[in-house]
Structure 1
Amino acid sequence: MEFTCPSACPGSCQVDCYTCKPVCNCDKPGAVCQDPRFIGGDGTTFYFHGKKDTNFCLVSDPNLHINAHFIGKRNQNMKRDFTWIQSIAILFNYNHTLFIGAQKTATWDDSNDRVDLSFDGQPITLPQSEGATWTSHTSPRVTVSRAEDSTTNSVVLEVEGKLKVNAKVVPITEEDSRIHKYGVTEEDCFAHLDLGFKFLDLSSEVSGVLGQTYRDNYVSRLDIGAKMAVMGGSGAEFQSSTLFSTDCSVSRFVGDNGEKNNSEGFDFEGLMSCQSGIDGQGVVCRR
């Protein structure tokens, strides 16, 4: 069967196998798009505006933590900022970090790739060709690839056994700015990320702006009857000091499947010969 994407998303939809209908990528559970608009794991749609130039925890679990950096513009007629997600950092297995960000851009040209990528602090170079793929040599394996039918600005990130993220860099267009009164000028089109998360191994204690909606016992505090349901407050409990910090008050992150690697900072080189006669890498202490 051939389908046509809905008019709201003419070039970014997928077929829902349950309803056998095309659905906009930003309308599926796990989506974070626009200003920013969230689709929770429970299917609820809500907005979380946060604050510009601030980092917020989207997901925090014992072995997975995702922060987002918000950019924005002050609206003089409102008590809040217009905000968008400029970048995210994914932390897992205690010492691994995966970063994706949208480069600051004045005039948008979709033929120019505005994606920044890095893994464990090292830049990832992804050729501008459909299907181009980068794979790590770590465990779990990390894969970054160009999205289908795309050579720029749209990538798929996968951490084996943990999650899959569809990420696309998009601008605020003149039409967007006119309709929503963003007041965007020619100096900056506020390039940002539209995101779609699929989680493979969350625990029952997961938290974060998005993560909490995946708990079995989650009870939404949103006014579902509101035209635009907003997660209110300043979001202080979700704030992180930096993009790569796990110090938000709702943090659940420990890393390494809940067991910290206490040998961090020590460099054991070569083989150790113990009095017990057991040879190998490591140290055995006896009191």
Structure 2
Amino acid sequence: MAILLLAMAEGATDKPKTVKCKDKKGYPKCLGTKFTCPDACPRSCMADCDLCRAVCSCDKGGAVCQDPRFIGGDGITFYFHGRKDKDFCLLSDSNLHINAHFIGRRNPEMKRDFTWVQSIAILFEDHQLYIGAEKTSTWDDAVDHLDIAFDGEPILLAMEEGANWQTSANYTPLSIVRSSFSNAITVEAEGKFKITASVVPVTEEESRVHKYGVGADDCFAHLELGFKFYSLTDKVHGVLGQTYRDGYVSRVKMSSDMPVMSGEYKFSSSGLFASDCAVARFGHGAAGNVMGSDQQADITCSTGLGGRGIVCKK
């Protein structure tokens, strides 16, 4: 199976980034080859060493990007808008809970906010991991806008690709590695989860096309995320988490131009580190059968493409 590597190259935001295949095993044809990010994701893409080209990092199962656009564990694309300045449960299981803090702008012509995920909190065992995008008025790829903390202590990573941090021997193995010199990391907790996180801005062009109304005082830096889980139970819930349950049937209206998941009240949390949403499972014991990683394989279309209503086979 291809190893997908997230990367963001240096340069101004109006220029497409380039990524490289870095898998040394099995892909000699593509090893070290540079690929330009597709037009659909000029700032954030991944090198697919199997397809020998760049694909959008937001087109994989477990992706959370844009205004927030999700690709569930079932491969179906949907949107969940939530509300600006509020926190929502993305996933809740007996030993893992993930909340997201939404930022946004109100569009007076619509009944909802434009929203983006500014930060996430990951609760596992008795630990807390925070990953956030720092607020900035203007965007510069050369400046790191990532804010990371583990159990309340800030984590500082050197500004170089491959820089890493890991827990000491008496903790659950957790590693954080820069996948680019700035604004992109991969986080992995052994046997629990793997998360890719990139900080990106809302560009002037995006604001113009979608009528976001983003001004010069704030570029709404936010997170683009990719999740992979290794040991969820069949009771898992949350905006994203429920889509990993065996037999889950999506209720979003697939004929819509923007299939939206409703039920905001079920996923609302009182705070970023709170596990009190209505569908919370965290700390409730190991109820349910554990689904192994073979049941939660990456969902990727052979074309590398995604989109509205895309369903790819595991």
Confirm or deny a common fold (TM above 0.5).
yes
Rate the CA distance shift 1:199–1:226 in 2: closer, same or farther, 3 A. Answer: same
Q: How does 1:152-191 map to 2 (within 5 A)?
A: 152-191=182-221
Tell me the residue number matched to 1:269: none
Rate the CA distance shift 1:130–1:21 in 2: closer, same or farther, 3 A. Answer: closer
Q: 1:241 aligns with which of 270, 286, 292?
A: 270
Tell me, what secondary structure is at the counterpart of 1:183?
coil
Asked whether the equivalents of residues 92 and 256 of structure 1 are also in contact (C-alpha less than 8 Å), the reply is: no
Which whole-Å CA distance do the structure 1 matches of 2:103 and 2:115 have between them? 6
Tell me the residue number matched to 2:84: 52
> What is the deviation of 1:237?
0.6
Q: How does 1:128-143 map to 2 (within 5 A)?
A: 128-137=159-168, 138-143=170-175
Tell me the residue number matched to 2:153: 122
Q: 1:109 aligns with which of 119, 130, 140?
A: 140
1:178-217 deviation line (CA, Å, top 9, x unaligned): 0000001111111000000011111100000000000012
> What is the deviation of 1:9?
2.5
Tell me the residue number matched to 1:271: none
Asked whether the equivalents of residues 35 and 82 of structure 1 are also in contact (C-alpha less than 8 Å), the reply is: yes
Which whole-Å CA distance do the structure 2 matches of 1:20 and 1:128 have between them? 28
Q: Does 1:195 align with 2:225?
A: yes
- The number of aligned residues is 253
Tell me the residue number matched to 2:100: 68
Aligned AA for 2:68?
Answer: P
> What is the deviation of 1:16?
7.5
Tell me, what secondary structure is at the counterpart of 2:205?
helix
Asked whether the equivalents of residues 175 and 188 of structure 2 are also in contact (C-alpha less than 8 Å), the reply is: yes
Tell me, what secondary structure is at the counterpart of 1:60?
strand
Tell me the residue number matched to 2:48: 15
Tell me, what secondary structure is at the counterpart of 1:177?
helix
Which whole-Å CA distance do the structure 1 matches of 2:204 and 2:188 have between them? 33
Tell me the residue number matched to 2:8: none
> What is the deviation of 1:7?
2.9
Q: Does 1:32 align with 2:60?
A: no
Asked whether the equivalents of residues 45 and 54 of structure 2 are also in contact (C-alpha less than 8 Å), the reply is: no
Tell me the residue number matched to 2:128: 97
Q: Which region of structure 1 is more displaced relative to structure 2, 175-184 or 8-17?
A: 8-17
1:21-80 deviation line (CA, Å, top 9, x unaligned): 653110000000000000000000000000000000000000000000000100000000
- TM-score under structure 2 normalisation? 0.77
Which whole-Å CA distance do the structure 2 matches of 1:13 and 1:97 have between them? 28
Aligned AA for 1:167?
Answer: A
Tell me the residue number matched to 1:285: none
- TM-score under structure 1 normalisation? 0.84
Q: Which has the larger radius of gyration?
A: 1
Aligned-residue sequence identity (percent) comes to 59
Aligned AA for 2:280?
Answer: S
Aligned AA for 1:42?
Answer: D
Q: CA RMSD in A?
A: 1.7
Q: How does 1:254-273 map to 2 (within 5 A)?
A: 254=283
Aligned AA for 1:206?
Answer: V
Aligned AA for 1:239?
Answer: S
**Structure 1: where are the runs of 5+ without partners?**
259-287
**Structure 2: where are the runs of 5+ without partners?**
1-28, 288-314
Q: 2:234 aligns with which of 187, 192, 204?
A: 204
Which whole-Å CA distance do the structure 2 matches of 1:16 and 1:57 have between them? 33
